[in-house]
Amino acid sequence: MAGPAPLAGIKILDLTKLAPGPHCTMILGDLGADIIRVEEPGEPTGRRAEQAGTSKVAAPRPSASPANALARNKRSIALNLKSGPGKEIYMRMAQRADVVVEEFRPGVAKRLGVDYETLSVRNPRLIYCAVTGFGQTGPYRDLVGHDLNYIATAGALSLIGRKGQLPTIPLNLLADYAGGGMHAAIGVLAALLARHQTGRGQYVDIAMLDGTMLLLAQALSAYFGNHKIPQRGTMPVDGGAPFYNMYDTKDGKIITIGSMEPWFYANLCRALKCEQFLADQYNHAKWPEMQEEFAKIFRTRTRDEWWDTLTKADICTGKMLTLDELEHDAQIRARNMIVEVETPAGDKVKQVGISVKLSDTPGSIRSLAPRLGQHTDAILADLGYTPEDVARWRGEGAIK
């Protein structure tokens, strides 16, 4: 019988809007934390309007779509932090919270009066996680940026792509989600464990630059050892080698090969009837010829035909699935990584599943993305405010 969720009872205030912060709090919410999204009342203005693609015409918040996994397992309070009542409400919430996650530019939280130094006086056990591009220190701390800028500065972009071509932009996966969101979740979990030992909260400074650089730990270690700068598209694991590569197939799809170990490489040569290359795995002079021959052979059969043949021959291989194919893949279905969830209206939506599989205290999807301010009244009642307070502040525009 499953026990309580691992983060049950942990209250988190989420002031984030763009990818890394919501990804962090989604992970924590999936693991049972009570996430309260603190959102601005009304329509986006200024830069928020630009980011949301809105102007004077009201548009639905994409984050409120039931299909948006980043907003699941969260409640929403619409709060104007620049108003007196809004700040008072937030301070009371922060006194009772375990964690705050924000992604303001450095200095903004202090100008609003909701920074760690202010909040920790009232709540010494508070863990305050700030996610930014370049961090809270250093000459770049105040610069604006996005994923592409951070992975470029971190050195990651220089390693991704084909030889003789511009680097390949890997969506916004590395800095936003891995370097930012996942590292923020790790930082919060570590701080919660430390608080269990010390009784004190602390400040968690997450820079997407730092997180991306940590993803390069092996590449940087190799460089510091031999002082050779890798040239993209020439290395064994970046498309330079014919035995660790991707190939077009007869049906216009793609099969991937990862036969690094000599025994897997030997299996590949035999399956392709290319035994003449058995002794040439790391003979770089032969790689262009091997690549051309492998490509010609792979075009003779469909992707799925090759998959069946290669897996039976104990060869490292994978079908390149497009997003519309994922939910039909047997392994993805077995791992529950595409799930169907019912909306309050009784409709069904599909979302990505929960990646961390805990045997005794599993995570879960308990609710879908909330409407703006959907839980304002309930949260304020829990804080001890009266219906009269709520009505007055709503009339003043401090809440919604």
CB contact set of 366 (below 8 Å; sequence gap of 6+):
73
pLDDT digits (tens, 9 = 90+) for 211-229: 999 999 999 999 999 999 9
User: Which domains does the chain possess?
Assistant: 11-215+336-396 (3.40.50.10540), 244-328 (3.30.1540.10)
160-165 average pLDDT score: 94
Banded pLDDT at 128 (limits 50, 70, 90): very high
Residues classed as catalytic: 146, 176
What does the pLDDT average to over 50-72? 65
Burial class (CB in 10 A: 0-12, 13-18, 19+), 98: buried
Beta-bridge partners for 248? 254
Res. 175: pLDDT tops 90: yes
Per residue in 261-317, pLDDT (tens digit) is: 999 999 999 999 999 999 999 999 999 999 999 999 999 999 999 999 999 999 999
| Burial class, 158, CB count within 10 angstroms (exposed 0-12 / middle 13-18 / buried 19+) | middle
Question: 290 with 284: CB under 8 angstroms?
Answer: no
Answer yes or no: is pLDDT of 53 > 70: no
Which pLDDT does position 3 carry in this prediction? 81
Distance CA 195, CA 24 (A): 19
pLDDT over threshold 70, residue 46:
no
Is residue 43 scored above 90 in pLDDT?
A: no
The secondary structure of residue 285, as a DSSP letter, is: G
Please give the Cα distance from 146 to 343 (Å, whole number). 33
The residues near 358 (Cβ < 8 Å, ≥ 6 apart) are 6
Cα–Cα distance for residue pair 77/165, rounded to 1 Å: 48
CB-CB contact of 77 with 103 (8 Å): no
- What average pLDDT does the structure give for the chain? 94
Please, are residues 66 and 347 in contact by the beta-carbon 8 Å criterion? yes
pLDDT, one tens digit per residue, over 73-104 is 999 999 999 999 999 999 999 999 999 999 99
Across the range 107-128, mean pLDDT stands at: 97
Q: Which of 47, 210, 216 is nearest to 132 (CA)?
A: 210
Percent of the chain past pLDDT 90, that is, above it, reads 92
pLDDT tens for 312-340 read 999 999 999 999 999 999 999 999 999 99
Contact 241, 297 (CB under 8 A): no
- Pick the range with the lowest mean pLDDT from 2-6, 94-98, 257-261: 2-6
Q: Encoding tokens for residue 186?
A: 């790790």
Give the SS3 label for residue 316. Answer: coil
Pair of tokens at residue 184: 């923020």
55 pLDDT exceeds 50? no
Using the predicted structure, report yes or no on whether residue 49 has a pLDDT greater than 50: no
Three-state DSSP class for 63? helix
Using an 8 Å Cβ cutoff, are 43 and 89 in contact? no
58: left (phi over 0), alpha (psi -120 to 50) or beta: beta
Comparing CA positions, the residue from 38, 190, 185, 176 lying closest to residue 114 is: 38
Both tokens assigned to 327: 């939910």
Q: Could you write out the DSSP letters of every residue in 382-396? A: HTT--HHHHHHHHHH
Instruction: Write the CB contacts of 301 (distance below 8 Å, at least 6 apart in sequence).
Output: 249, 250, 309
pLDDT of residue 56: 41
pLDDT surpasses 50 at 365: yes
